[in-house]
Chain A
Amino acid sequence: MKKYEEEFENTLSPLVVIEEAGRCLLCEDAPCSSECPAGTSPDKFIRSLYFRNLKGAVERIRENNILGGVCAHVCPTESYCKKGCSRSGIDKPVEIGKIQRFLTEYERKLNLNFVKKTPLTKEKVAIIGSGPAGLTTASELAKEGYKATIFEKSEKLGGWLRYGIPEYRLGEEILDHEINFIKEQGVEFILNSEFGKDITLESLEKEGFKSILFATGNNTGRTLPIFEGKANVEIAVEFLARIKKQQKNDIGKNVVVVGGGDVALDAACSAKLLGAETVKVVALETLDKLPASEEELRIAKELNIQIIGGFIPELVEADKIIFKGTDSKDKIETYCDKIIVAIGQQSNLDSSVRSKKESNIFFAGDIAEGDKTVVWAIKRGKENAKSIIEFLGGVK
């Protein structure tokens, strides 16, 4: 039986990863590499591996993406690099994410360090939030010599990476290893510091921060009126966060998860791995249109989690929930002692802050537009760093 605390997927062995790299066609103008929002070039790191230059392959990943190991674990590659892979014309795409994962594990085990360290001589920049966007911006700024400080309201760093993505998909040591790279670059981290409470725009400006980036993410789960005030209902993001904080009690015996995205599947699989007897996922979307990634669905299947598409919740009672079909008169009545709601998230950033038009204030990550994935947060993080540097008069 698999455990919540153990990685669900094993890293490829050295023999297998060489074989997998051997499947790469080494294309001209490789489509995989134009598909990555974070700007990773799988064609180059796979080519380095293909020609047995493992350290060079690690460098190729690391120089571009300070969260390359995190990405290797959590990226829904079928929507990005793998989607472009020319190998699909023969059989199936190269397992780019798994190769990246092997290389970043190799890097960690050999304690390789290819992160650029620049003396920090330039302006101070405050970053609110230590999720993937905030971390990326801080690292990019440090590479160019800016003094970045990250303010994090929780007691640990990583935002969604720490408190959202479950342990079986992303071990904390992987995140810690990459945050450590950023620490070594000279980025400062201030924990337990919440915007609006412990710090304000005025206090930051007084402390000499020339620019402020809000990378606070969409950290509040949405709900529906029918769930309000119900004792057996828990919001998915809160459920996932408390588990990561080691509060693993009250998982429920028969669990129903409402929603069909990655967060819903994360909650469902976490519940099952932590001892729930039955877990059902009921989504508004039909099965062919589920937003959850391939990997999430595969794990759910392996854990024998039932997924039902095309139903919306109608009524919640003490020990059951009733759904109705989106395009039929069908009803589902299912008995459960725990309902987890995963129907999307929103930012809880004060609208007065959100509407700020001052030129030194920037917004990143999930609170900006784009896909709600880690790799998009990294893309935004890089773009924000570029904008901030331009604002501060540097060239990037």
Chain B
Amino acid sequence: MLKKDLSIEFMGVKFENPFLLSSSPVGNCYEMCSKALESGWGGIVFKTVGFFIANEVSPRFAELQKERSSFVGFKNMEQIAEHSLEENLAAMKKLKEDYPNKVLIASIMGQNEKEWEDLARLVTEIGADMIECNFSCPQMTSHAMGSDVGQNPELVKKYCQAVRRGSNLPFLAKMTPNIGNMVEPAYASMQGGATGIATINTVKSIVGVDLEKQIGLPIVNGKSSVSGYSGKAVKPIALRFIHELKTNEKTKDAPISGIGGIETWEDALEFILLGCETLQVTTSIMQYGYRIVEDLISGLSHYMEEKNIDKLEDLVGKAIDNIIPAEDLDRGYIVYPEINKDECIKCGRCYISCYDGGHQAISWDKENREVSVDKDKCVGCHLCSLVCPVKCISKGEIKFKNENENREISL
């Protein structure tokens, strides 16, 4: 299969490709990471280590479904590593020795400054290429750790300074999305010595309630807890936070490792186009396995071949400037939907959605089951094209509003 050079330099470290396991259940021991690296992943963010050893619940996952799709969103209650720090350090050391050309990122989490500094030193000694500081796990059983820390810029800065004292390695600060403005903690981490940002960690969630037992999911001896939500459903949230960091003066130069619902090469490319140089994946690996990296690599290679792009870095950030404040968008025209009657299968879904969720601009000829657009009522929202099951509604005629002049419009 076609394999372009997908290598990229990120925070001074060379990655053979940008695809990494994120710090999570998928990188929990040597055997898992070894299988992943053999499958083609460019590197590993080993599951967060700390002096704290997690005691986990059973079961610990739940999923959100929609129609026929499982894992639209995924809820996870696992905390940081369940193995001892010694075991994890030994596993990471062996990984780096056995896979010297792959990148090993050690994720760490301390409970106080001393622990952060010690952990940074320990993972540096075993040969990690990079450190990631986990300021963002939303399901820790202690409030001295996890996303409670990540919501507090002062604490983030202080702990980053501790990590910098313990290591000279480049390090990422992993951010929580359980916050309105990510710039503040991200900027604080950079001021504390972080080299870059990893984002997003999981979103605090209740994914569902068992209706018979009237308990949240998953049920742990009759109760449940709020915990982190991930998977495809959070991708739009992740992209928005990343764009925010990439457009704010304080953080726009920070290198970013993007995380949040990446399954396909198209998802990955979206993160790259919004400024990420490496990408981290967990949920889709939990659902489908490490093998998904084959199509991440192949799909991205074909895209680069088609667009005549030789270096991955040439794609980084290409879409950032094309997302602008709502007040700056061109509001001077309407583009009307155009229904291809040859392809229409006469289901009437566009009619229903336009009537009940739009502007009653599609008329329904009951006898012939035919739809047509009433341009006097249509506002050009294109809800109809989104619900059409055969995608036979496209963008048609453009009408300029009031005093707006005729001009070229990029649709």
Contact = CB atoms under 8 A, between A and B. Distances in A.
B1 A52 contact: no
B288 A48 contact: no
Interface stretch (B204-212, B262-270, B317-325, B363-371): B262-270
B68 interface: yes
A59 interface: yes
Interface stretch (B71-79, B92-100, B290-298, B353-361): B290-298
B44 to A, nearest CB: 21
A15 B389 CA distance: 9
Given A52-B266, A53-B298, 17 more contacts: A15-B391, A44-B294, A47-B294, A48-B294, A48-B298, A51-B264, A51-B292, A52-B299, A53-B264, A53-B295, A55-B2, A56-B295, A56-B298, A56-B299, A56-B302, A59-B2, A63-B1
A93 interface: no
Contacts of B265: 51-53
Question: Considering residues A44, A55, A56, A59, which has the most beta carbons from chain B within 10 angstroms of its beta carbon?
Answer: A56
Contact of B291 (A15, A47, A56, A59): A47
B41 to A, nearest CB: 15
A175 interface: no
A114 B294 CA distance: 17
Contacts of A108: none
B391 A53 contact: no
A204 interface: no
B398 interface: no
B144 interface: no
Nearest to A47: B295
Contact of B298 (A13, A22, A59): A59
Contacts of B291: 47
Nearest to A16: B390
Interface in A48-65: 48, 51-53, 55-56, 59-60, 63
Nearest to A43: B291
B263 A51 contact: yes
Nearest to B2: A59
A26 interface: yes
A55 B302 contact: yes
Nearest to A22: B68
A56 B288 CA distance: 18
A52 B288 contact: no
Contacts of B68: 22
Contacts of A63: 1
A51 B391 contact: no
5 contacts: A15-B389, A44-B294, A52-B265, A56-B299, A60-B1
B89 to A, nearest CB: 32
Interface residues of A, number: 16
Interface in A275-320: none
Nearest to A44: B294
Contacts of B390: 13, 15
Contacts of B2: 55-56, 59, 114
Interface in A377-395: none
Contacts of A60: 1
Contacts of B263: 51
B285 to A, nearest CB: 12
Contacts of A52: 264-266, 295, 299
4 shortest A-B CB distances, which residue pairs?
A53-B299, A56-B298, A55-B302, A53-B295
Given A15-B391, A48-B298, A56 B1 contact: yes
Interface string A37-48: 000000010011
Contacts of A51: 263-265, 292, 295-296, 299
A26 B68 CA distance: 15
Interface of B: 1-2, 68, 263-266, 288, 291-292, 294-296, 298-299, 302, 389-391
Given A15-B390, A52-B264, A63-B1, A26 B299 contact: no
Nearest to A53: B299
Interface in A1-52: 13, 15, 22, 26, 44, 47-48, 51-52
A56 B295 CA distance: 7
Nearest to A13: B390
A393 B402 CA distance: 80
A26 B265 CA distance: 18
Contacts of B302: 53, 55-56
A30 to B, nearest CB: 11
A48 B391 contact: no
A320 B66 CA distance: 62
Contacts of B391: 15
B236 to A, nearest CB: 17
Nearest to A114: B2
Contacts of B299: 48, 51-53, 55-56
B10 to A, nearest CB: 24
A351 B15 CA distance: 63
B307 to A, nearest CB: 13
Nearest to A14: B391
Contacts of A53: 264-265, 295, 298-299, 302
Which of B265, B291, B294, B295 is packed against the most chain A CB atoms within 10 Å? B295
Contact of B1 (A15, A26, A47, A59): A59
A48 B266 CA distance: 12
A287 B291 CA distance: 44
Contacts of B389: 15
B173 to A, nearest CB: 30
A51 B291 CA distance: 11
Nearest to B263: A51
Contacts of B264: 51-53
Nearest to B265: A53
A10 to B, nearest CB: 14
Interface in A112-164: 114
A44 B291 CA distance: 10
B179 to A, nearest CB: 31
Interface in A353-382: none
B295 A26 contact: no
A63 B1 CA distance: 8
Contacts of A22: 68
A5 B295 CA distance: 38
Contacts of A59: 1-2, 298
Nearest to B288: A26
